[in-house]
Amino acid sequence: MPAEDPNPRTPDDNSPIQGKNWLTSKIVDLILRLTFKCDAMTHLLSEEMDHPLPLLTRVKMRGHFLMCCYCERYKENLHFIRRTLRSSAPNIGDGSAEALTSAEKERLKRVLRDQSPERLRHS
C-alpha cells in the first residue's frame, strides 16, 4: 500500500514540482525523504530569522520549497510580519506615559488602585 502524501495538493498549489505524473511523483518522494517535513520547516524558518543556518540545512530547506508552496508562504508571512514590526518600531512610544498630563496619571493610578486584585476578591 503506497504511503499517504503528507502534503496533499490543493487547486491553488503553485509548487514547481507536484506529483502529477509518475516521474514527478518519484521526484516528490525523493525530496520528501531527503528534506525536512513541514513541522520541522516551520521551526527552522523561525530559527533562520534569529541566526544563520548551516549550508546543508539551507539546501534541504530550498529542496522542500520545490514541493511545498505552503512552507514558502509561511516564510513570506514571517518576513512580512518582521518588516511590518520593524517599520512600526519607531512609532511604538508615541502613546507612552510621558504624553499623559499629571492629572491623567493620577486618574489612571486611582482607577488601577480601585481595581486591585485584593479589592476584586472581596467584591
What is the reported pTM?
0.55
Q: Is residue 101 part of a domain?
A: no
pLDDT for residue 44: 95
Nearest in space to 14 (alpha carbons), one of 72, 69, 61, 64: 69
CB 69 within 8 A of CB 15: yes
For residues 99 and 36, give the distance between their C-alpha atoms in angstroms, rounded to a whole number: 50
For residues 104 and 82, give the distance between their C-alpha atoms in angstroms, rounded to a whole number: 34
Q: Is residue 79 part of a domain?
A: yes
Helix, strand, coil percent values for the chain (each to nearest 5): 70, 0, 30
Number of domains in the chain: 1
Q: Is residue 117 part of a domain?
A: no
Range of the domain at 55: 13-88
pLDDT for residue 69: 85
**pLDDT tens across the length of the chain (123 residues):** 455 555 556 666 666 666 567 787 787 778 778 888 889 999 999 999 999 999 999 999 998 888 788 898 999 999 998 888 887 766 565 555 457 788 888 888 888 877 765 554 454
Phi, psi (degrees; rounded to nearest 5) at 33: -75, -30
Nearest in space to 63 (alpha carbons), one of 37, 102, 96, 98: 37
